[in-house]
A and B are shown apart, each in its own frame.
Chain A
Amino acid sequence: MEISTTSISARHPQARRDAPDALVNATITIKHGEQVAIIGPSGAGKTTLLNLLSCALVPTQGSVTLDNKNPWQLSPRALKTLRGQLYVASQVPPLPPRQRVITAVLAGSLPAMSFIQSMASLIYPKNIAGAHAALAMFDLDSKIFDRVDRLSGGERQRVGLARTLLSPSTLWLIDEPLSALDPTRAKQAMDTMTNQARERNVTLVVTLHQVEVALARFPRVIGLRDGLVAFDLPAHEVTPEKLNQLYEQYEDELTGAPPASDDLTIAPATVAVMHCR
């Protein structure tokens, strides 16, 4: 999928009136099949940009076009079809704790299934082989019939990524895919995602805290700071000075480990309480 944005600004729908826009005047063009990493300190607007590209947020100014279509001028039906062509993987994997891994992974292919097919797949999984292959790329094939709440945080994050591989999309928007993974798993996950995207000719946009991963794996890197595009360069032109500027006052995020992802704590499924309403 081809993406272009012309001087878009956006703010969180629940933001205070006087709060500054989370993203200001960003103009970015991403070609079909390109792989782009978005870096920048916390609060720079990375997730806002991803939300804009995934039709999850309406820009307050400017416009987004996906494959030459402005999603906000489409009919609801056409917008749904367009949403089926993009896949959003959020930092906290959106998996119901009582669901089985196989169902969670197959949920990625829902846009390609009719309602009847998706119901039948709940009774007997439709594509065991496909789900197995996707999970195997993340070393999770043995967990295919386990319940999600039996998995660790890192395993859940990898299930969320495996789900991407089953989606019929041509644009993958992935938010912090490595936040809960150890270095070995992170390398494996990054290899799989970039290779698969290349093989399928899918456009890949990833936000990353790990600057060295972004520079090593992605041909193009966009640096965001305070809602502004600080640079948009091929990876080999991103100099240490530029990085130091980008992460000024946030040096620990540039050099140290990625910030601990507190929001990925795992709450096990608890026995439901009885409500008298």
Chain B
Amino acid sequence: MIAQTSHISHTVRPARPAPERDPAWIGRLFWLTAAMVIMWPLLVATEFKPWILFDAQSRKSTLRFLGDFFPPVVNLEFMTMVAKETWRTVAVATAGMALALVLAIPLTLLSTRALSVSALTGRMATMPFVFRQAIRFLLIMLRSVPELVWALIFVRVVGLGPTAGVLAIALTYGGMLGKVYGEILESGDAHASTTLMRSGASRMQAFFYGLLPQNAAEITSYTVYRWECAIRSSVVLGFVGAGGLGQQLDNSMKMFNGGEVATILIVFILLVALADRVSYVLRREIG
């Protein structure tokens, strides 16, 4: 029956001419032109001239710099120092993360919409909404100041050394973790926690019995990933005097000691690879 009707309509309808062009063409042309028009000023603003890399002068200085890398310095004294600074870098990242968690966890609990009691019956009430937005705004402020800027400030306050690095990581990462934890908690399945609160459990009970087990894997995975980021970031912080491998790298570079730079870079790459590995194993165990 269906086949028959379609057959009839096929024969009755007048044959259409083949379309003259692809209807999507105009749109594509427009967006391509728009992208180029927007990109051009960006390239001008960034003085994007990659060929400069390959002129004779640049080639010579690049080769000289790279040539200095060999052989890397591996004497005992230097290696002991590098080992100590590596450990300090890991310690700065870890202590910074611990402080960041102290900051992030309470702020997450205060700001997440998933623990709203008034939202159980539809919309969140006005006051709680404003309060949660205010806390969220604080988190966004904390995280939008780069840790490098915080480190520069703290180097002036507490002096050169790892303390400045720890505090810088704590503030920026506290904001980051708090904001993302809140997003994870809100994007997960809220059924478990809302049901508990509808049956009279308190917010904190609903968090520990519903919301946290629902999202624990994602939260831990993100935390471990951020720890890995903190290790990389604490190296950069060393450049402004916050201790660790970065500070040594800065010193060696200023003294044009390519061999030491090479050793530190190799150690740094190994450290990041190790952190990546540890973070992978941890995440697999949790999942």
A residues neighboring B (CB under 8 Å) = 13-14, 54-58, 76, 80-88, 90, 92, 94-99, 103, 107-108, 110-111, 113, 115, 118-119, 122, 167, 169, 269-277
Q: Are A167 and B199 in contact (CB under 8 A)?
A: yes
- Encode contact with A along B231-248: 1 for CB under 8 Å, 0 otherwise: 000000000000000000
Which one of B117, B206, B213, B225 contacts A98 once the chains associate, using CB atoms below 8 Å?
B213
Inter-chain contacts of B221 with A (CB < 8 A):
272-275
Q: Are A118 and B217 in contact (CB under 8 A)?
A: no
Cβ of B141 < 8 Å from any Cβ of A? no
Q: Are B200 and A277 in contact (CB under 8 A)?
A: no
**Chain A CB within 10 A, most for which of B122, B199, B210, B286:** B199
Known: A92-B191, A94-B192, A107-B196. A58 touches B121 (CB 8 A): yes
Q: Which of B182-225 contact A (CB under 8 A)?
A: 183, 191-192, 194-202, 204-206, 208-210, 213-214, 216-218, 220-222, 225
Cβ of B283 < 8 Å from any Cβ of A? yes
Q: Are A272 and B199 in contact (CB under 8 A)?
A: no
Closest to A106 in B: B209
30 A-B pairs with CB atoms under 8 Å apart are: A13-B123, A54-B198, A55-B121, A58-B121, A86-B199, A90-B191, A92-B191, A94-B191, A95-B192, A96-B192, A96-B214, A98-B214, A107-B210, A110-B201, A110-B209, A111-B199, A118-B205, A169-B199, A271-B283, A272-B217, A272-B218, A272-B283, A272-B286, A272-B287, A273-B218, A274-B225, A274-B283, A275-B222, A275-B225, A277-B176
Inter-chain contacts of B216 with A (CB < 8 A):
98
Cβ of B138 < 8 Å from any Cβ of A? no
Known: A103-B213, A110-B205. A88 touches B286 (CB 8 A): no
Inter-chain contacts of A84 with B (CB < 8 A):
199-201
Q: Are A87 and B199 in contact (CB under 8 A)?
A: yes
Cβ of B180 < 8 Å from any Cβ of A? yes
7 nearest interchain CB pairs? A84-B200, A271-B287, A13-B122, A111-B200, A83-B200, A96-B213, A272-B217
Shortest distance from the beta carbon of A112 to any chain B beta carbon, whole Å: 9
Q: Are A271 and B225 in contact (CB under 8 A)?
A: no
Cβ of B284 < 8 Å from any Cβ of A? yes
Say which size band chain B's interface belongs to. Answer: 35 or more
Inter-chain contacts of B213 with A (CB < 8 A):
96, 98-99, 103
Complex alpha-carbon distance, A219 and B6, angstroms:
56
Complex alpha-carbon distance, A134 and B262, angstroms:
65
Shortest distance from the beta carbon of B34 to any chain A beta carbon, whole Å: 28
Known: A110-B209, A274-B225. A88 touches B199 (CB 8 A): yes
**Chain B CB within 10 A, most for which of A13, A80, A94:** A94
Which one of A55, A111, A271 contacts B217 once the chains associate, using CB atoms below 8 Å?
A271
- Encode contact with A along B132-168: 1 for CB under 8 Å, 0 otherwise: 0000000000000000000000000000000000000
Q: Which of B88-128 contact A (CB under 8 A)?
A: 117, 120-123
**Chain B CB within 10 A, most for which of A81, A107, A275:** A107
Inter-chain contacts of A111 with B (CB < 8 A):
199-201
Other than the known A110-B199, A269-B217, what 6 A-B pairs have Cβ atoms closer than 8 Å? A84-B201, A90-B191, A96-B213, A107-B210, A118-B209, A169-B199
Shortest distance from the beta carbon of A134 to any chain B beta carbon, whole Å: 15
Q: Are A80 and B200 in contact (CB under 8 A)?
A: yes
Complex alpha-carbon distance, A81 and B220, angstroms:
33
Shortest distance from the beta carbon of B275 to any chain A beta carbon, whole Å: 13
Inter-chain contacts of A271 with B (CB < 8 A):
217, 283-284, 287
Inter-chain contacts of B222 with A (CB < 8 A):
274-275, 277
Q: Are B210 and A96 in contact (CB under 8 A)?
A: yes
Closest to A89 in B: B195
Shortest distance from the beta carbon of A275 to any chain B beta carbon, whole Å: 6
